[in-house]
Amino acid sequence: MKAIVIHAAKDLRIEDHPVTDPGPGEVQIALAAGGICGSDLHYYNHGGFGTVRLREPMVLGHEVSGHITKLGDGVTGLSIGQLVAVSPSRPCRTCAYCQKDQHNHCLNMRFYGSAMPFPHIQGAFREVLNADATQCAPADGLTAGEAAMAEPLAVCLHATNNAGPLLGKSVLVTGCGPIGILSILCARRAGADLIVATDLSDFTLDMARAAGADRVINVAKTPDALAPFTAGKGTFDTLYECSGSEAALSAAIPAMQPRGVIVQLGLGGDMRLPVQAMSVKELQLRGSFRFHAEFFTGVSLMQKGLIDVKPLITHTIPVDQATAAFELVLSRTGTSKVQIEFPQAW
Ligand SMILES: [Zn+2]
Ligand SMILES: [Zn+2]
């Protein structure tokens, strides 16, 4: 079977890997779709991010779906041919954080396609994937592409949980890549009233409007466009910061209401913060990292038609052209979520 393996920056190879049978409690999956995520892109472009460096070849990918081809011993509730979204979150379920229900902070996390630990945790961009049945969310009724969106959707649902109640709230979303757009969908679903989105690209802002943002602002064209929102100590109760840009975060602070909540989702390296302005407004800065149970919630919300991710999938590219797919994401032109399509031979 083919696997998409990163060896070093800009050294992406499609390799032949052996297929093994699923073990007890596992299922074998013929991969159908795999979304390219910001972290995959960092490995491709830079060979890592921050202090995390590739030290051995690693299969990329953690946003995947596919059809079940084999059931290991003891697996119930799943069936051959069924489409499943596969959660890349594989906590140990025994460490102190797992016991506190903080699975995303597991000390022994084996999240697909991560070079944080060594040996690296191999990823899921492979034609045949053996996964624990407990990782699989039945995705009947969805397309393979939608099912593969469950992972970034779960990231945004987790951020929404961290943001606290949103019913009737005013929300600002800075940065309208896939995570920003999914944040708009999640905030709306959670009851947000006013949603304003900013970005530097008209293409992604059109997508934000289609996703339900009430107003979109191109801050490249109108840098002080948030000024009207700063009156009376500010407008927004909640900020989803999805750009990782210091400038975006700093510009949003005067538009935040006192006691507002900032959820930092964009990871663009270290930032300087206007701590004095944040402190006198009693703003709350909250992190957000991965997800766990939200993965299954996301699949369920998509199945019920309560969140529609289809418009985000702008490109579907065959596995043989994986390098072209990564270059396309890097180009940042007319793309939102780019997915790799795996041949369905089962
Ligand atoms: Zn991802
Ligand atoms: Zn654990």
For residue 339, give the ligand nearest its CA: 1
How many A from CA of 291 to the centre of ligand 2? 13
**Residue 77 gets which letter from DSSP?**
S
At 268 the pLDDT is 80
With 50 as the cut, is the pLDDT of residue 250 above it? yes
Name the residue with higher pLDDT: 345 or 249: 249
Q: What is the pLDDT of residue 267?
A: 86
The model's pLDDT over 148-198, given as tens digits with 9 standing for 90+, comes to 999 999 999 999 999 999 999 999 999 999 999 999 999 999 999 999 999
The DSSP bridge pattern shows strands 52-53 and 236-241 to be unpaired
State yes or no: pLDDT of 346 exceeds 50.
no
- Residues 11-18 have a mean pLDDT of 96
Based on the number of CB atoms within 10 Å of its own CB, is 193 exposed (0-12), middle (13-18) or buried (19 or more)? middle
pLDDT tops 60 at residue 300: yes
Q: What is the Å distance from ligand 2's center to 89 Cα?
A: 11
Question: In the predicted model, what is the mean pLDDT of residues 210-224?
Answer: 95
Percent of the chain with pLDDT over 90: 94
Measure 175 CA to ligand 1 centroid, in angstroms.
16
Ligand approaching nearest to the C-alpha of 93: 2
What is the CA(34)–ligand 1 centre distance, in A?
10
Ligand of minimum distance to the alpha carbon of 98: 2
| Alpha carbon distance 263, 254 (integer Å) | 16
Q: Is the pLDDT of residue 345 over 80?
A: no
Q: How many angstroms is it from 87 CA to the middle of ligand 2?
A: 16
Work out the pLDDT band at 223, boundaries 50, 70, 90: confident
Res. 298: pLDDT tops 70 = yes
**pLDDT confidence of residue 344:** 75
Structure tokens of 336? 């939102």
Ligand nearest, relative to CA of residue 148: 1
Least distant ligand from the CA of 265 = 1
Q: Enter the pTM of the model.
A: 0.96
Distance 51 CA to ligand 2 centre (A): 22
pLDDT bracket for residue 340 (50, 70, 90): very high
Query: Cβ contacts of residue 155 below 8 Å, gap of 6+?
Result: 179, 182, 265, 288, 290, 291
Question: Can you tell me the mean pLDDT for 52-59?
Answer: 96
- Rounded Cα distance between 70 and 133, Å, is 11
Give tens-digit pLDDT for 90-143: 999 999 999 999 999 999 999 999 999 999 999 999 999 999 999 999 999 999
d(CA 72, CA 76): 9
Phi, psi (rounded to 5 degrees) for 11: -115, 80
The whole-angstrom separation of Cα 31 and Cα 43 is 21
Give the ligand at the shortest distance from the Cα of 107.
2
pLDDT digits 0-9 by tens, 232-247:
999 999 999 999 999 9
Q: In this structure, which long-range contacts are made by residues 197-206, counting pairs with CB atoms below 8 Å and at least 24 apart in sequence?
A: 197/172, 197/173, 198/172, 198/173, 198/174, 198/225, 198/226, 198/248, 199/174, 199/175, 199/243, 201/176, 201/332, 203/333, 203/334, 204/176, 204/177, 204/180, 204/336, 205/176
Share of the chain above pLDDT 70, in %: 99
User: pLDDT value at position 328?
Assistant: 96
Among all bound ligands, the one having the nearest atom to the CA of 109 is 2
Cα 39 to averaged position of ligand 1 atoms, centre (Å)? 7
